[in-house]
Structures are given as C-alpha cells and as structure tokens.
Structure 1
Amino acid sequence: MTGQEQDPQLAQAQREHWQHTYSAHPGMYGEQPSDPADHAADVFRTAGARDVLELGAGHGRDALYFARSGFTVQATDFSAVGLGQLTHAARTQGLGDRVATVTHDVREPLPLADSSVDAVFAHMLLCMALSTAEIHALVGEVRRVLRPGGTFVYTVRHTGDAHYGTGTAHGDDIFENGGFAVHFFDRDLVNALADGWILNDVHAFEEGDLPRRLWRITQTLPR
C-alpha cells in the first residue's frame, strides 16, 4: 500500500483495540517515563524549548514527565479513554495547568497553528498502522507546527525486530501480532523523513518483551 492511505477498516480496528486495551488495563505502561522521553527532555531543555507536543500520548506517563520537568505539554491520542486517564492523573498531580489534551487521529492535520510549538515527541506512534504516505504526511505536519530550530524526537520499531515479517501481513511493511499492527521502519524511510531537516541522531535500543528493537531519531528544523 505504499503511496496510498491505509485500509480504513484496519485503522478503525486499531482504534477500537486501543480503546479496549486502555479500558481493560488503566495505566498499562506504569508511571515512570520511557527512556526516550528522558532523553528527549534533556534535548528539549538544551535547545531552550518551553512547550512540547506529544503525539500518541496514551495514558500519559511521558506527557506527565514533561510537565513535571517544567514544560507546557499538549498531548494528543486517538484514544479518548487513554487521554481521560491522562487528564485525571494531571489533575491529581497538580499539573492540570501544564497539560492539555486533544483526541486526534494523526491521519488528519494536527490541530495546531503553524510554528506554534518548540518540540515534538512521539514514542512508537509513527510505527502504528500508518501507510508510508500517511507517515510522510504526518512528519510534514510536525514540520508545519514546529518553530524554526524546533526539535522532533520519535521512536519506531525497525525491520531488525523479531516481529518483522511475522503475523498477519497488511502490506507496506505492516504486520499484526496479538491485535497490534506495526509499520516496521527501514533506514531508507528514516532518511526520507529527515529530508529538509538536520538529522542529529539515529540511536538503536531495545525495550520490553522479545525485546522490541527500535530506533530513537532526533532531528531539528533549520532556523
């Protein structure tokens, strides 16, 4: 399906799957931030960022960490259930004035003005069930909303992952295992998404079961 929109039935099935998952397992990723978020906070702070947009924030462990670190956070996800858990946690932790949430599907334009945020973070959001064309469109939207010199940190599972090529194949390097569909990245896609950016770093790491094999990409808009 390269160059096309993703199957709408797959997109709807994934949305329902995540809604059910967050309902059945509140706070499923725990309260501690991910290692990529810890890295991103340092990068954003060094760059002088004040506001952060997190895409695919889920129930908010990383969004809350950014807020505790002093950033103003806008968090989006297509799961209203996950964002409800995030909003409740932000209020409970006294961070309600630093975290705003918007239910949003990244297949649609981002609900922000041009050049309106200093930094964008997305942990395993770009490798969801998105076609290559949709991923390119999303990165174009990230570029639009970032201010000049802004930083984008994202993580993706790559083609060296144990689940690559297994389970149900949906085309365009998307494979579904256990109900979760993943678009596995190769290095050519990472490079293509960095066209017109400064590609600062591509860092390989592992996380969770199997373990999952990922890249953490840091790229900056020219000033």
Structure 2
Amino acid sequence: MPESEQKQEQELAEVQRAHWQQTYGEHPGMYGEEPSEPAVHAASLFHAAGARDVLELGAGHGRDALYFAREGFSVTATDFSPVGLDQLREAAVAHAVAGRVTTAVHDVRESLPLADASVDAVFAHMLLCMALSTKEIHALVDEVRRVLRPGGVFMYTVRHTGDAHYQVGTGHGDDIWEHGGFAVHFFPRPLVDDLAKGWRLEEVTAFEEGGLPRRLWRITQTLPR
C-alpha cells in the first residue's frame, strides 16, 4: 500500500476512535439496556452449538455482552473505547454478572488478545462495517478464525450497499462513506462470500434496524471441525 494511503487510513481510524470516545462520554448507555435483535438470535445459535465462551468485538457500552452473560455465557468484550467499556463494567456489577464478563481495550486492526482456539463463538454487531479497509476486514476474520475452536460459530452484522447512506457524505474509497461524523464500510455481497472462504456459510439474512432504517445483513459462518 502506498505510504499516503496508509497515512490516510491511520488518520481516519484516529478520528473515528476520538469520535466514538466523545459519543460514549456524552451519551452514556446510548443504545439502551435491551439487547439487539441480532444478539438475541446469536444467543440461541450459540446455545444450540453448545458454546460456553463468547467473544464480542466492538461491544461498546455492553448491552449485548450483558445479555450474553445473563444467558449464562462467559463473555470477553472488546472495544477501542475505554469509556464504553467502563460503562459496561459498571453495568455488569449492577446486573450481578461481573463474574462472567471480562473486558479488553482493543483495536481490531491489531491481533486479538486471545490464545489460539480459546473461544466457542464470536459476535460482532456492525463492527466489521466500521472504518476498516477490505484488507483490514480480511485480517480481522483471519484472527477470528484463529481464536475460535473447531466447530465454533461466528455471527456478524454489517450495513450493505443497499443502505440509504451508501454513497452519501464524504467518500474515503473502498466503499467507506462518512455521514454525520460516522464512517461506515458498506459491504457488497462478494465481500461476504470472500470472507466465508474456508468456512461453512450458514446464513446471509437481510434485516433493517433503526429509524432510517439502516439496511443490514446478518451473517453466520461456522469453522469446520
């Protein structure tokens, strides 16, 4: 990658990190306490697969991580916002699930802070469609594969190119568009298929969320045994 492009990616990442820090600080618990619909669906899949240890990427202030803990899973919740994770830990104490929740400040552009084959399931709601390049997304999915045990389940959601905000606002290349201060990598379907190579692709389900509404895919893929 040319040095100028690499610098632009790093600058965008820093701006987005600062933006999320400020957002969580100004709007604590901004998504409420109820779990997202994808998390409820994921919990049923994880239970059916016999999962015990769940990794959530981009947990934010923790509404889904707390739900997984209440469902009886041991949860490792990561996010690049210390402010969001502080709120998650406080809520875990309030919900009496602190013993089942571990947090780690982590940027998904770096290797995951877990050992090989150490978790049964991974969940990421709209994390892969943040301001990540296609190369960074592939590297992240490779890391997910590394930390999952054979037969493990990876469920993620992403906004896609059919979303109303696709090609709206400031374009950063690589299908990344910034609108209202938030940068989103809108997924084309071929990217979903590329990320599933070497996995068993279980589902690609379209759904909508929020008042716009945001248009997303829910993707579930399983690591072969």
Do they superpose with TM above 0.5? yes
Instruction: Establish whether residue 13 from structure 1 lines up as the match of residue 15 from structure 2.
Output: yes
Question: Equivalents in 2 of 1:222, 1:151: separation in Å?
Answer: 10
What is the match of residue 184 of structure 2?
182
Q: Structure 2 counterpart of 1:51, which letter?
A: D
Alignment root-mean-square deviation, CA? 1.2
What is the match of residue 41 of structure 1?
43
Please point out which of 214, 219, 223 is paired with 2:216: 214
Higher RCO (CA-CA < 8 Å; seq separation 6+): 1
Give the structure with the higher percent helix. Answer: 2
Q: Structure 1 counterpart of 2:192, which letter?
A: V
- TM-score for both structures, normalised by structure 2: 0.97
Question: Percent of counterpart pairs with the same letter?
Answer: 75
Question: Equivalents in 2 of 1:188, 1:218: separation in Å?
Answer: 15
Question: Equivalents in 2 of 1:221, 1:57: separation in Å?
Answer: 22
Question: Equivalents in 2 of 1:180, 1:7: separation in Å?
Answer: 14
Aligned 1:1-223 pairs, distance under 5 A? 7-223=9-225
Q: Structure 1, unaligned stretches of length 5 or more? A: none
Q: Structure 1 counterpart of 2:10, which letter?
A: P
Count of aligned positions? 222
Question: Equivalents in 1 of 2:118, 2:211: separation in Å?
Answer: 37
Alpha-carbon offset, residue 7 of structure 1: 1.1
Deviations 1:133-191 (A, max 9, x none): 00000000000000000000000000000000110000000000000000000100000
Alpha-carbon offset, residue 92 of structure 1: 1.3
Q: Structure 2 counterpart of 1:167, which letter?
A: G
Alpha-carbon offset, residue 210 of structure 1: 1.1
Alpha-carbon offset, residue 93 of structure 1: 1.2
Q: Structure 2, unaligned stretches of length 5 or more? A: none
Question: Equivalents in 1 of 2:9, 2:35: separation in Å?
Answer: 32
Question: Equivalents in 2 of 1:210, 1:41: separation in Å?
Answer: 26
- TM-score for both structures, normalised by structure 1: 0.98
For residue 155 of structure 2, give the secondary structure of its aligned residue in structure 1. Answer: strand
Q: Which runs of 4+ in 1 moved over 4 A?
A: none
Alpha-carbon offset, residue 209 of structure 1: 2.2
